[in-house]
A and B are shown apart, each in its own frame.
Chain A
Amino acid sequence: EAGVTQSPTHLIKTRGQQATLRCSPISGHTSVYWYQQALGLGLQFLLWYDEGEERNRGNFPPRFSGRQFPNYSSELNVNALELEDSALYLCASSLVSLLGAGTDTQYFGPGTRLTVL
């Protein structure tokens, strides 16, 4: 069974541009999460989507946004890129939706490395 996939693997942008990152969850998973792993800042929660709705977001500015499609895949958009947005962006998916409980184990993809020049 295929795991979480992310594209592209690498993305190079310049300051002020927009970046779009994509994620396909494990088949049957309805929840998708985005995390940022920046040098020196560790893994920080960005966004959580479930059943097409944004359920929670971390302490990031509004220029970080996204959506979840009917097939549960997800897109992360970062507008007005800044140098400090350079990081590895990790997507994870889990089986349990909002109405479920307990075993919401998150499985991670390989990440997209975003470099802002």
Chain B
Amino acid sequence: AQSVTQPDIHITVSEGASLELRCNYSYGATPYLFWYVQSPGQGLQLLLKYFSGDTLVQGIKGFEAEFKRSQSSFNLRKPSVHWSDAAEYFCAVGSGTASKLTFGTGTRLQVTL
């Protein structure tokens, strides 16, 4: 069964500092990996996705993520955080054909000014 672990429940960073959110997955085949962001009381917005090819993927809002098969990881990074990035971030894994996504428990990001 597929699973996703986001080990950090809550992270606080200063505005302008760099950010890395961790994600580890468990999946028997080639994973399809996603990062979504959720503002309070809102739906999920897709930040980026990895299906195949280049292991460093670029997303919206200046985010990027790197797929490392050997570590079963798909960490999200941003070189300089803005106060508007404060939200909850979810990593998810899919099977590649239309089917359910399995989500991690999320990481809440707080940005201090």
Contact between chains at B106 and A98 (CB < 8 Å):
no
- Cβ contacts A1-13/B at 8 Å (1 or 0 each): 0001010000000
Closest to A34 in B: B100
The segment from B18-26, B44-52, B73-81 found at the interface with A is B44-52
Given the contacts A43-B90, A43-B103, A108 and B45 also touching, CB distance less than 8 Å: yes
Main DSSP-derived SS at the B contact region: loop
Contact between chains at A94 and B46 (CB < 8 Å):
no
CB B72 to nearest CB in A, in angstroms, measures 19
Main DSSP-derived SS at the A contact region: strand
Count A-side interface residues using an 8 Å CB cutoff.
33
Q: Which B residues are in CB contact (< 8 Å) with A48?
A: 98-100
Question: How many angstroms from the CA of A110 to the CA of B38 in the assembled complex?
Answer: 10
Contact between chains at B34 and A105 (CB < 8 Å):
yes
Does chain A have a CB within 8 A of B57? no
- Cβ contacts B13-38/A at 8 Å (1 or 0 each): 00000000000000000001010100
The 3 closest A-B pairs by CB, nearest first: A45-B100, A108-B44, A43-B103
